[in-house]
Structure formats: C-alpha cells, structure tokens
Amino acid sequence: MWYPQNKNELEKVLKNFIKKPNIKISGVHGIIVPHAGYEFSGEIAGKGFSLLPKKEKAILISPSHYVAFAGLRSLEEIKTPLGEMKITPNNYEKLKYEHAIDNQIPFLQMLGYKEVLPLVAGNITNNDAENIAEELAKISSPIIISTDLSHFFPYPKAVKIDRETIKIIENLDLQTFEEIDACGIFPLMIVMNLCKIKKWKPHLIEYKNSGDVTGDKSSVVGYASFWF
C-alpha cells in the first residue's frame, strides 16, 4: 500500500507530514510534489502541501503509470480512507486509477479541500502543453503537479541528475527540457508553460532521494517539492 489504509493511522501520519518549512514564501499558486509511498516521500510532499492556500477546489496533474495514451484523461472516482473526493465535472475520457493522483488526495482532504479536477497526462507535445497551460491560466484553483525525479541510479549519480532537473525547473528552461529525468515530464511541461504565462517562478522546498530515507544508496529514486 502507498499509504496507511486505516483512517486514524492515516490522519496521524498526515498531521506529522503537513508542516510548514522554514523558508520565505509569498503568493503560492501551486506546488510540485512527489508521489511515492508515504514512508519514502510523504514528508517532502507534506511540506509542499502545507503551503497551499485554504480553498475548496484544486487541480491535480500527474503522469500515467499504467496506460499509454496521448493527451489528458481524468478519473472515474476517488476514494480514500478519509472519504470520497468530489471530482469536478469534465468531458475527459476516464481512467479507473492512477496512484500518482490518489497519493495526493489524502493531503488535500486533511487540508479541507472538497473537490478536485484530476488530470492524468499521457504523451503530449510542448505545443499541447502550451494550450493546456493557457486554459489552466484562466482558473484560480491551486495546481498540484505530481512527479518523482530520477529512478534507480546509484546515489551520487542520482543527486547529480536530479540537481540538473531541479535547475531546469526553477529556470523554466524549456530549451533543455528534454534533459529532465522525471516520470512526470509531461505534467512538468504543462506547469513550466503555465509559469511562463503567469510570470510565476518555481522555488525548491526540499530535495531528497530514497537513499536518504532507507540508507540503501545503491539504487535510488529522487523526490523534490517546489512551490510556485
């Protein structure tokens, strides 16, 4: 399981994770957070979620891990031990499940969010990403981008690769975008275009990888959280 399935245990874990980091912030419009099992990346994600404004609706964009397709899809339903989350009505083709979406929902429920538009991004071009970003720019709801960073490199190599990815994201460098090593490359493409349109800037909150958590540094997965 990606997170505790007992309601009380899940709430306890989330309260421990959702803690504001000691950083200077202003005008948070959204976050980029990892979607691994909570024991690996929940603390990093929680610091991002702690910065979200208090609203009822959010937009959540993740990569697809189980189905190959082009464009965007949504989900049929979302239910966690904390209850069912209302899905914003939409005309996208529906998927049954995507953990990169589901893992974020308990955080939103703990923060009092009542409704989410879950978007799963399949294969898209940068032109597609621009068009999606232009539509998102018209909506005031906070945006959550779900992605992990590099997968299964030895610790030193992973850190080097991930630091380059972080630099590209912070600089909104779409010219070198293809050098990003992240499962959520298409959601990142969307949010980088959105930030350019809205003149927002992503700021790193925290970076770690699974080696920092487990101590096994032979083959790690990278996790980072940002606010923008």
**If pLDDT is split at 50, 70 and 90, which confidence band does 45 have?**
very high
Task: Please report the pLDDT score of residue 67 as a whole number.
Answer: 96
To the nearest whole percent, how much of the chain has pLDDT over 70? 100
Question: 113: domain CATH number?
Answer: 3.40.830.10
Check residue 70 and give left, alpha or beta (phi > 0: left; psi -120 to 50: alpha). Answer: beta
Please tell me the total count of domains within the chain. Answer: 1
Whether residue 97 is contained in a domain is answered as: yes
pLDDT for 96-123, tens place per residue? 999 999 999 999 999 999 999 999 999 9
**If pLDDT is split at 50, 70 and 90, which confidence band does 46 have?**
very high
Of 8, 28, 12, give the one whose Cα is nearest residue 20.
Answer: 28
DSSP lists the bridge partners of residue 115 as 57, 86
Task: Please report the pLDDT score of residue 134 as a whole number.
Answer: 98
pLDDT for 48-74, tens place per residue? 999 999 999 999 999 999 999 999 999
Whether residue 37 is contained in a domain is answered as: yes
Whether residue 108 is contained in a domain is answered as: yes
Whether residue 20 is contained in a domain is answered as: no
Residue whose pair of structure tokens reads 């904390």 in the numeric block: 82
**If pLDDT is split at 50, 70 and 90, which confidence band does 26 have?**
confident
Whether residue 48 is contained in a domain is answered as: yes
pLDDT for 157-174, tens place per residue? 999 999 999 999 999 999
DSSP 8-state assignment for residue 88:
P
Whether residue 22 is contained in a domain is answered as: no
Whether residue 165 is contained in a domain is answered as: yes
**If pLDDT is split at 50, 70 and 90, which confidence band does 1 have?**
confident
Task: Please report the pLDDT score of residue 3 as a whole number.
Answer: 98
Distance in angstroms (rounded) separating the CA atoms of residues 125 and 152 = 26
Instruction: Tell me if 160 sits within 8 A of 224, measured CB to CB.
Output: no
Average pLDDT (130-147) is 97
Segments forming the whole domain that contains residue 78: 9-14+27-227
Mean pLDDT, all residues of the chain: 97
Residue 179 pLDDT > 90: yes
Check residue 100 and give left, alpha or beta (phi > 0: left; psi -120 to 50: alpha). Answer: alpha
Distance in angstroms (rounded) separating the CA atoms of residues 8 and 27 = 32
Whether residue 160 is contained in a domain is answered as: yes
Strands 83-87 vs 115-121: parallel, antiparallel or unpaired: parallel
